[in-house]
Amino acid sequence: MTYQRNRSGTKSNPSPKKREHTSESELILRASKIWHRGGLVAFPTETVYGLGANALSESAIKKIYQAKGRPSDNPLIVHIGYKKDLTKYAQNIPATAKKLIQKFWPGPLTLILEKTKRVPNITTGNLNTIAIRMPNHPLALKLLRQTNLPIAAPSANLSGKPSPTHAHHVRSDFQNKIDLIIDGGPTTIGLESTVIDLTVSPPIILRPGSITPQMIEKIIGPVETIHHSQKPSKTVKSPGLKYRHYSPEAKVVLLTLPEKNAKNTEKKLLEFFQTQPTSKKKIAFLTPHPEKFPLLKKTFPQIFFNMGKTEKSFAKNLFHTFRTLDEQNYHTIYIPELHTKELGLAIMNRMHKAASKTLKI
Ligand code: TXA
Ligand code: MG
């Protein structure tokens, strides 16, 4: 594992792009100092990289919104290093929260709870609730524990871009605009955390993630899920829901396939791609199940990308592949619709947000 320093100079002395290799403990100390003086540090979590700042400092939080170009009514997730810190920032904590924390923290589950006065309104987009989680990443936990501050961290991408799963994604979005980027290698999950609102009954999953509704229901009973086809209501539950997300530059098209008959599906896909000018436009076809399309792969090998062979690996590679295809000037990314069970729900949620259209073939 290497750690890279991003910005060391002052404005009058723009930093050389040189990367310095520093020991882990030195780096953690440096990040902690930056957070204490109100700066921005990007760091890895098990889901995606976060762009972190002191959650208790209005001026530090303003820098996050500015750097990302994020609308200030879209609140941030606060990260803590110890479960016991929860009561400093959340109050009237329901029994459901306690059960979920016991089962899933540290981990990719963000809880929406009533906030305490200590948390400034800017951090929560003026809501009286807070989104809070304890990440399951050794380096993130060391950073949070060393700094001993709650760290507000949205995904470390420019607003609207795919979330970063590698440190170089963060570098490409922010270059020298933030104080430090800590490189902990690729993130393991690749999709952002599950967000669940526990201030309502039954609880509502506002953003599906790798902790699925089924896993949650086993612990606390029935929950509701906002479906990706649902238009956000006037009183938007999660402000993030109303913004377009995760879009690569390339056009993303979701393909609705005829179900049941696998052979028929592949035939339709073959016919479809035969009508596409694959020689003129760079076209990609992304699926977690390449084994379902052997003939298509034989006929159009150039449109296939290795996303691994499981839905888990597909999720892990998704945002990275979006960014790679953009770097290679791809024109259109076709993705066959997936089921919405288990991880499929989180994958389809991101797909619907990235897609400019759905095509029935
Ligand atoms: O995996 C993750 O959650 C990553 C890593 C860095 O922890 N963070 C992340 O943050 O994805 P961000 O800001 O990109 O997404 C936070 C989501 C947004 O959709 C936001 O609207 C929602 O959480 N959110 C935050 N506070 C909320 C609140 N009080 N009520 C409802 N939704 C909230
Ligand atoms: Mg985000």
The H-assigned helical ranges of 9-155 are 24-36, 58-68, 86-89, 95-104, 138-147
Residues 6+ apart with CB under 8 A from 346: 191, 194, 208, 209, 210, 212, 315
**329: left (phi > 0), else alpha (psi -120 to 50), else beta?**
left
Nearest-atom number in ligand 1 for the CA of 70 is: 13
| pTM of the entire predicted model | 0.92
Decide whether any atom of ligand 1 lies within 6 Å of the 44 Cβ: no
Mutate to test the pocket of ligand 1, among 76, 79, 200 (most ligand atoms within 8 A of CB): 76
Give the number of the ligand closest to the Cα of residue 110.
1
Long-range contacts of 303-307 (CB under 8 A, 24+ apart): 303/273, 303/278, 303/334
Number of the ligand closest to the Cα of 135: 1
C-alpha distances out from residue 186 to 78, 169, 202, 213, 351, Å: 22, 10, 35, 26, 21
CB 232 within 8 A of CB 213: no
pLDDT tens column, 199-217: 999 999 999 999 999 999 9
Residue closest by Cα to atom 17 of ligand 1: 240
Is the separation of the CB atoms in 195 and 110 below 8 Å?
A: yes
Q: Is the CB of 203 under 6 A from ligand 1?
A: no
Which amino acid type is present at position 286?
Answer: L
Q: State whether the beta carbon of 46 lies less than 6 angstroms from ligand 1.
A: no
Residue minimizing CA distance to atom 30 of ligand 1: 238
In short, whether 232's Cβ falls inside 6 Å of ligand 1 is no
Contact 107 CB / ligand 1 (< 6 Å): no
Name the token pair of 184. 């902990």
pLDDT, position 10: 33
How many A from CA of 154 to the centre of ligand 1? 6
* One-character DSSP codes across 233-260: -SS-SSGGGGS--S--SSEEEEEEPP-S
What is the distance between the alpha carbons of residues 104 and 107, in angstroms, rounded to a whole number?
5
The pLDDT tens digits for 152-203 are 999 999 998 999 999 999 999 998 899 999 999 999 999 999 999 999 999 9
Q: Is 154 in the pocket of ligand 1 (CB under 6 A)?
A: yes
Ligand minimally distant from the alpha carbon of residue 154: 1
Residue 188 makes CB contacts below 8 A (sequence gap 6+) with 46, 316
Mutate to test the pocket of ligand 1, among 110, 141, 235 (most ligand atoms within 8 A of CB): 110
Residue 12 has pLDDT above 50, yes or no: no
- Cβ–Cβ under 8 Å, residues 100 and 215: no
Q: Is the CB of 210 under 6 A from ligand 1?
A: no
Residue type, 326: D
Tell me which of 119-123, 140-144, 247-251, 300-304 is least confident: 247-251
* 68 against 277, higher pLDDT: 68
Q: Which residues touch 36 (CB under 8 Å, ≥6 apart)?
A: 54, 147, 149
Decide: helix, strand or coil at residue 206: strand
| Residue-wise pLDDT tens digits, 31-59 | 999 999 999 999 999 999 999 999 999 99
Nearest to 334 by CA among 344, 321, 346, 345: 321
Cα–Cα separations (whole angstroms), residue 128 to 42, 169, 248:
26, 33, 33
